[in-house]
Structure 1
Amino acid sequence: MRLHQGCTDCLLSRVEYESRLCTDDEALVLKIAGACRDLLQCSLADPVPAPVIASRVHRLAYRMIGDADPYRSLKRANNEDAMAVSLAVRGDLVTFRDLALASVIGNTLDYGSEAHTVTDNFVEFFRREFAAGLTVDDTDAMEALTSRVVYIADNCGEIVFDALLADHLRKSGSHVTFAVRGAPILNDATIEDAVALGLDRRADVLTTTTDGIAELGLNRDIAPPALTDALDRATLIIAKGMANYESLSDEHDLPPVAYLMSVKCSPIGADIGIPVGSRVALLRE
């Protein structure tokens, strides 16, 4: 999925948000936003998926900020909050569908988007969203394909619920490979986050890039050989979140892909044909 012209304001709002996480110097924030706007305008016509361009912009912002991980405190808080919620609700999570829905609800823990606000009471929010169920529900068809899964993770916080789903898959006889970011970008989970949560004891854990490259989504041109091999052998790819959807939705030479996400912006909703706020477990074969 390519970057839409309307996505630029949202992307630049994230640049300003992450800059203000690190500095109170408003002149510097505006300088960073201006440089990122220029880079974005030069990149709009590039025939690449949206996350490739967004990653360039965030890497520039991080260099100008002088901080390789502006979201580190938020990521830690996300994981702690999600752990507390998971302890409160895990007794209600029994089936593959339950755990997929929980993972989708966890995908709402995402910061800096112009069109999306993070809830202050996640337990209450979780229970309400869980009762509402999935807007798009292909979980039965997904579950039938889970003998060998590559699980492309997204944000911290939600990775706690991803881990519960991985446990369920493993206990059901699935082989699970987790793929996390190769370096910090936004509040996405990295190898350090995965290890801190014990995911390396539940599954094989790989990174989506080599050499510490910070990249959103899955850019197959720079994916490590081990991940490429795992994708080739997978019976199902679980792709969490919108950036992974943007990366893979136009690909045609992959195993079946299960997209698990909360739809937080209108371009993604329009591409799928559903409203913003939808809870999606969408299988594309």
Structure 2
Amino acid sequence: MKLTTTCIPCLLKRVAYEVDLCKKDKAMSALVECSKIVAQRASDKISSAEFASEIHRCAYAIIGERDPYVKLKRKSNLTAMSLVGQARRYVRTSQHPLRAAMRLSIVGNLLDFGISGSLESPEELKREFRRLLDKRPGWDDSVEIERLISRSKEVVFLADNCGEIVFDGILLEEIKKSGPKTVLVVKGEPILTDVTLEDLEGLNMENIADEIIETEGLAVGLNLWDKNVNVGLKKRMRAADLIISKGMANFEAMSEHRWKAVVYLLRAKCEPVARALHVKPNSDIIKLVKGRIK
């Protein structure tokens, strides 16, 4: 997905949010420096994920904190863990557990803070959990996806946020029951609320998949624009029978490229992403794309 004019104020708002989490006195300097990047680099030719990565690298350098979201990430994980019993019952009692696990995974995608269309706090998920599970997806290819998973030998799963990963674990369990090898991709460095291997270990979830791969570099979504980064991972993704891509940032990066088969699981929290997916804003998406999204 390419950068839009709507993306720019959203990015600067997110910068202000993350500075406010730990270094309030750095807010003005962070916004000034990030605005310089907007002036120099903003273009409808650059992918929104690449541009967002440049903005957040700048903000992190000014903040001087390796992981500004660390407390929020832990809170999200604790909230999700407190709902595991309900989540497992929801999947177990469904006529179609794998499809139910996909919907559950999207509910976890709302644990994404500092942007519109997401939850205000982890606690809100507890209050709204059942209602969110009952919401009908705006796009639902889960029947076809279920068949494809059963025929796949290897599924690559691109993780998104902390908290969300707890519900992703239940989805990965259901995928494994269909037979394919599961490869989970997590961030190699902390960025926003995205899950890292360190976060997984803190949850005792390091065995969540058959294999775990860490990304290279500090990037929003998956860095697919630098040919010298994530070289081995890109090869695995091209060879995989199916890729499952969680969240908007991964969609923004992945939709720029052609893949054998990719499933997008997310809440379309903003108008540009919703437009790219041909749905209304705030729709839940279970979308299978073969080739490149049109």
* Aligned pairs for 1:96-175 within 5 A: 96-114=98-116, 116-118=118-120, 120-146=123-149, 147=152, 148-175=154-181
Paired AA for residue 171 in structure 1: K
Matched, 1:202 2:208: yes
Partner of 2:14: 14
Q: In the TM superposition, what whole-angstrom CA distance separates every residue of 1:226-283 from its partner, at most 9, and x where no partner exists?
A: 312321221110000001111111312x120100001111111111121111111011
Q: Whole-Å Cα distance in 2 between the matches of residues 140 and 268 of structure 1?
A: 23
Matched, 1:32 2:30: yes
| RMSD of equivalent CA atoms | 1.6
SS at match of 2:83: helix
Identical-residue share of aligned pairs (%): 35
Instruction: Measure how far apart 1:222 and its partner are.
Output: 4.5
Could you list the runs of 5+ residues in structure 1 that have no partner in the other structure? none
Q: Whole-Å Cα distance in 1 between the matches of residues 288 and 252 of structure 2?
A: 15
CA gap of 1:98–1:173, structure 2 versus 1, over 3 A, is: same
> How many residues are paired up?
279
Partner of 2:221: 217
Partner of 1:281: 286
Specify which of 47, 66, 71 is matched with residue 73 of structure 1: 71
Instruction: Measure how far apart 1:207 and its partner are.
Output: 1.5
Q: Whole-Å Cα distance in 1 between the matches of residues 246 and 282 of structure 2?
A: 15
CA contact (8 A) 1:19 1:29 kept: yes
Q: In the TM superposition, what whole-angstrom CA distance separates every residue of 1:120-165 from its partner, at most 9, and x where no partner exists?
A: 4313312102112322110111122222110001111101011111
Q: In the TM superposition, what whole-angstrom CA distance separates every residue of 1:11-38 from its partner, at most 9, and x where no partner exists?
A: 000101100111232xx31111111011
Partner of 2:3: 3
Matched, 1:263 2:268: yes
TM-score normalised according to structure 1 size = 0.93
Q: In the TM superposition, what whole-angstrom CA distance separates every residue of 1:73-117 from its partner, at most 9, and x where no partner exists?
A: 000110110111122231111311100000001000011114544
Could you list the runs of 5+ residues in structure 2 that have no partner in the other structure? none
CA contact (8 A) 1:257 1:284 kept: yes
TM-score normalised according to structure 2 size = 0.90
Instruction: Measure how far apart 1:214 and its partner are.
Output: 1.1
Q: Whole-Å Cα distance in 2 between the matches of residues 280 and 50 of structure 1?
A: 19
